[in-house]
Structure 1
Amino acid sequence: MSRTDVDFSFRKSVPAYWFLKWGVLLLLWTLALPGPLSAQLPKISPGSAQNQDRQSREEPNSRDSTTTEQGRWTSFLGNQRNGISDETGLNVNWNKHKPSVLWREPLGGGYSSIVIADGKLWTMATHLNHDYIICLDALSGKKLWSTRGAPTYLDNQRQARGPRSTPTWHAGKLYCLLPAGDLLCLTADTGRILWKVNIFDISGAPRQEQKTIYYWGMSASPLIEGDLVILQPGGSANNSVIAVHKDTGKLVWSAGTDPPGYASPIVIEAENQRQIIVPTGQSILSLNPKEGSLLWRVVWGNKYNCNCATPVWNEDSLFISSAYGTGCMRFALILQNEELRPISRWKNLSMQNQFATSIIKDGYIYGPHGDLATVTYRCLDMQQGEVQWKSRRVGKCTQIAAQGHLICLTEQGTLLLIEANPTEYREKGELTGLLEFKAWAHPALANHRLYLRDEKRILCLDLQEK
């Protein structure tokens, strides 16, 4: 007999007034107890998620509809992989209207960010000895399913356990890459595994743990381009970058000779030519999506092969940035003799992103600069690469942008709202105690709700304009 059946038969055998009496007593006793986290964490707004869930059922055309692009955040750094949300109607004055926590749930270790579609969210986390793909209801935080992906990963330096990359949602399926190279395709609704391959096995690329201690696991999020899934195992025998078919996981092409990086690939169009931009451990590659042929290569890296920030395309320029003395560069893609060539516009040391990707907004670049020493938050001019201002208020952080503002999550778990203003650092609100160290996963935004996580929990904030 199911749990539902037991509860139903029990209710039929007990008078209704018994439930009323004991229900009131239980409620009063519960309210009298101090919450175990109340001293550290902001209170959850009573009934917020449930009330909004009921409203969405009563008003099918309300702002909670997930049939529009606004209701989705389908990949690492959002739908366009640039960290920018197109949502409007957001609360962007936290000093006056402090966002409330709609729900908070336990999760587990890992740095995977969050993707959202069709009223659900997905991420990855470690539990005991395995890494899992996890699905929650986006409105209530209720766990819908979890699927075991692979044994838990721990790098040689024992920096952290669990998944690094972010799932990619596409046409009702999830594409998930785990740190040891296991690539899974699952049904987004149920978590059923459709196929599973290991990208080191199918590409022949060596596992980096066997080559150096300065390696921290597969971290780049899968990119869907047409019928292909683009990944980067990193190999020196024309197998640095691979494409597998999204329906079968079978290898379609491989290319390149660079070691792996940690940043995610993107797809752009320049001079009417579609191309995949792949940040490796020692370069930025441009590949033809159909057969993987090399279009151009820019040498870019450091002694750790630690390129972590995803390249950012801005109309006619590509911006790249790395830490450990590497710096940043803006270059254009120019057609010369019927071939695309990268032409540097400027290069300097003014922005060195360690693990967060910079945001380009209205001709200016915003992001954290630094690695092992002091980290400052900066604004650079896109045209010349000159520093407009810098602040120590933020420190190491991840970030996204929405409605003319930057939403920065520090690694200690503090959330800051900063105006995207090139003339001065202007803070519009701060929320402390939301999460704990290490909060390295990028925020995600959909349907006026902001989703955050650290290595212990996941939570949802209400960003609806008041």
Structure 2
Amino acid sequence: MPLVEPTVVDQPDTDAVTAARANQSTLSDTEEDQGWPALFGPDRTSSVDAAWNPIWSSNGPKVLWETEVGTGYGSPVALGGLVVFSHRLADEEIVQCHDALTGTKIWDYRHSTSVKCEFEYSDGPYSTPLIEPDRRRVFVVSGEGRLSCVELDTGEHVWTRDFPTEYELEPGEFPVGATPFLDGNRLIHNLGAGEKGAGIVALDAENGATLWEATDHGAAYCSPLVAKIHDQRFLFVFTDRGLVCLDPDTGIKDWEYPHFSRAPLSYNAVSPLVFQDKVLIVTGPGPGAVCVQIKQDRTFEEVWKNRRVINCQYNTLMLRDGLVYSFTSAGQGGAELRCVEFATGKLRWRYHSVLRRGQGLIAGDALLLLGERGHLASLACTPDEPRVLSFTQEPLMSDPCYCSPALSNGILFLKDEERVVALDVRPLAEP
């Protein structure tokens, strides 16, 4: 089983680079770019068939623009020539919209905040904005847990739900970090108001009105997911206790699967992933990964369980062709990237590098990876072995990098707690 020992950076695989260059013209003929309107991309797999150039020098891709920002672990999202992100400066949380190509700021939406992390981490915000393409609106959750809706084109306020006040929620040890899921006109949120019977809530996306409430669970740092399996619709929410399966239309619970760490300061922070009729959940370090299969009668059975093969703490799960790519926690002799079969849990390969607990996405035939310490790398998306395409000699972003990247129309957006940077990774023009 291939194991690549960590070095300062790894040199590109010449054959893989040649193949990647050849693939660019093919990828440019794919369907129209869907942008990156939500955390984990347009279909929540952190994988798209978008055209881009995964080959760059050791200095990294060309910088189109950059802007200073404050604190926060929320990731950028982008759609139709616009990029949106949130951050915090002093006692104010700010949602900003910029022209994706030029970096010109179009609007910002501000509100006061007093949330405080009890530990040496960011005071937020942690949640990622969500763009609704049809109505051209943006939904954003503050560090305290307020959920607001603003217009995408103007930043004009539409509505706000003050959940901490409405449900008498006590501040947590960390700022609120769950990102809602948009299911048609239904906005589903991992709220965590379990004592009020509102661990999970569904809102009318038009006006914020409550449609249903369910469970007595607390919140987690995970986004809900709706999937169609056996010609039926299922809602999967990973709460503080484990995976919950519900009817997304009514909120009626089908079942729940307990899965959480009993260690102090451990949280469920990896959103569930669906492939065909199977669901994958991960809690790391400790409990690890579990894959369950959904039955025709809406019950489930456990397919495989492994504490070590995937045990990421908060890192993105990337899906392509039945394979999951993700980073492990730092507890197994250092974090590393792994490729694992979704259906079986079989480890296909591992890649140990300076990326550590990175974040990433898949575009076309390549992995795009932002390391925890700010290095940027691309690898061929292959089930056989890790093959490096590009790797920056020095970090491009500031340590630590906990925000996921976003890719839209050949522009890569990276964010840390100092800057948002737009990089030109548009495919090379055909000769």
Please indicate the TM-score interval, normalised by the length of the shorter structure: 0.7 to 0.9
Partner of 2:19: none
Q: Does the 8 Å CA contact 1:205/1:233 hold for their aligned counterparts?
A: no
User: Could you tell me whether the CA contact under 8 Å between 2:316 and 2:404 is conserved in 1?
Assistant: no
Query: Paired residue for 1:190?
Result: 154
Partner Cα distance (1:127, 1:383) in 2: 44
RMSD over aligned Cα atoms: 1.9
C-alpha displacement at 1:331, in angstroms?
A: 1.6
Pick one of 113, 116, 119 that aligns with 2:75. 113
- Counterpart AA for 2:252: S
Determine the C-alpha separation between the residues in 2 that align with 1:69 and 1:152.
Answer: 42
More deviation, 167-176/227-236: 227-236
- For residues 336-357 of structure 1, the C-alpha deviation after alignment (integer angstroms, 9 at most, x for no partner) is xxx3112111111211011112
- Contact kept, 8 Å, 1:181 with 1:218, in 2: the verdict is yes
Deviation for aligned residue 1:80: 0.7
**Within the alignment, does 1:316 sit opposite 2:280 as a pair?**
no
Q: Choose the corresponding residue for 1:296, options 255, 258, 264.
A: 255
- TM-aligned CA deviation for residue 97 of structure 1: 10
Give the TM-score, by structure 2 length: 0.86
The separation in 2 between residues aligned to 1:119 and 1:441, in whole angstroms, is: 21
* Aligned ranges 1:110-149 → 2 under 5 Å: 110-149=72-111
Is 1:451 the counterpart of 2:374? The answer is no
1:232 to 2:190 alignment: yes
Matched, 1:367 2:326: yes
Q: Does the CA contact (< 8 Å) of 2:357 and 2:371 recur in 1?
A: yes
Question: Which residue among 221, 225, 240 is the counterpart of 2:179?
Answer: 221
Q: 1:85 to 1:205 in 2, by over 3 A?
A: farther
1:342 is matched with which residue: 300, 322, 326? 300
Aligned with residue 164 of structure 2, among 193, 200, 219:
200
Structure 2 portions without partners, runs of 5+: 1-27
Corresponding residue number in structure 2 for 1:385: 345
CA contact (8 A) 2:339 2:383 kept: yes
Q: Is the 8 A contact 2:123 2:175 kept in 1?
A: no
One-letter amino acid matched to 1:404: D
8 Å CA contact 1:168, 1:175 repeated in 2 = yes
Whole-Å separation in 1 of the counterparts to 2:162 and 2:87: 19
Q: Which runs of 5+ in 1 are unaligned?
A: 1-62, 210-214
Matched-pair contact (CA < 8 Å) for 1:145–1:191: yes
Contact 1:150 1:182 in 2 (8 A): no
Alpha-carbon distance in 2 for matches of 1:433, 1:455: 14
- Once the two structures are superposed, the pairs formed by residues 58-97 of structure 1 within 5 Å of their partners are 69-88=32-51, 90-94=52-56
Check if 1:409 corresponds to 2:370: yes
Report what 2:125 is aligned to. Answer: 163
**What is the rounded CA distance, in whole Å, between the counterparts of 2:180 and 2:342 in structure 1?**
28
The match for 1:175 among 139, 145, 155 is 139
Aligned length: 390
CA distance in 2, matches of 1:375, 1:97: 24
Distance in structure 1 (CA, Å) of the matches to 2:324 and 2:87: 31
Pair 383,195 (structure 1): closer, same or farther in 2 beyond 3 Å: closer
Give the number of the structure whose alpha-carbon radius of gyration is greater: 1
Q: Letter of the 1:408 partner, please give it.
A: L
Listed one character per residue, the Cα deviations across residues 152-179 of structure 1 (whole Å, up to 9, x for unaligned) are: 5321224112211111111211111112
Ranked by relative contact order (alpha carbons within 8 Å, sequence separation 6 or more), the top structure is: 2
When structure 1 is superposed on structure 2, of 366-375 and 289-298 the one drifting more is 366-375
Using the size of structure 1 for normalisation, the TM-score is 0.80
Tell me if the contact between 1:443 and 1:452 (Cα under 8 Å) persists in the aligned partners: yes
Residues 298 and 323 (structure 1), Cα distance of their counterparts in 2 relative to 1, 3 Å cut? same
State the distance in 2 between where 1:378 and 1:244 align. Answer: 37
Residue 291 of structure 2: aligned partner:
330
Deviation at 1:403, TM superposition (A): 1.0
From 387, 403, 411, the equivalent of 1:441 is: 403
Distance (Å, rounded) in 2 between the aligned partners of 1:94 and 1:344 = 43
Shift of residue 95, structure 1, vs aligned partner: 5.3
How far off is 1:305 after superposition?
A: 5.2
Distance 2:110 2:382 in 1: 44
Once the two structures are superposed, residues 246-271 of structure 1 have per-residue CA deviations (whole angstroms, 9 ceiling, x without a partner) of: 12222221101111110111110111
Would the aligned equivalents of 2:73 and 2:403 in 1 still touch at CA under 8 Å? yes
- For residues 62-94 of structure 1, what are the alpha-carbon distances to aligned partners after superposition, in whole Å with 9 as ceiling and x for unaligned? x9xxxx851521111111111012202x21233
The 1:254/1:457 distance shift into structure 2, 3 A limit, reads same
The one-letter code matched in structure 2 to 1:248 is: N
CA distance in 2 between partners of 1:368 and 1:360 (Å): 13
- Residues in 2 aligned to 1:465 and 1:355: alpha-carbon distance in whole angstroms: 30
The amino acid across from 2:102 in the alignment is S
Deviations 1:268-290 (A, max 9, x none): 01111112211101111112122
Q: Which amino acid aligns with 1:244?
A: L
Conserved? CA contact 2:144–2:171, under 8 Å: no
Relative to its length, the structure with more helix (as a share) is 1
- Determine the structure 2 residue equivalent to 1:247: 206
Deviations 1:373-398 (A, max 9, x none): 62121111233212222222131111
Structure 2 CA distance for partners of 1:321 and 1:200, relative to 1, 3 Å: same
SS of residue matched to 2:202: strand
In 2 relative to 1, CA 72–453 (structure 1 residues): closer, same or farther, beyond 3 Å? same
Change (3 A) 1:150 1:276: farther
1:148: Cα distance to partner?
A: 0.7
Check whether the contact 1:200–1:233 (CA below 8 A) recurs between aligned residues. no
2:44 partner amino acid? R
> Contact 1:152 / 1:162 at 8 angstroms: preserved in 2?
no
1:131–1:152 CA contact under 8 A, matched in 2: no
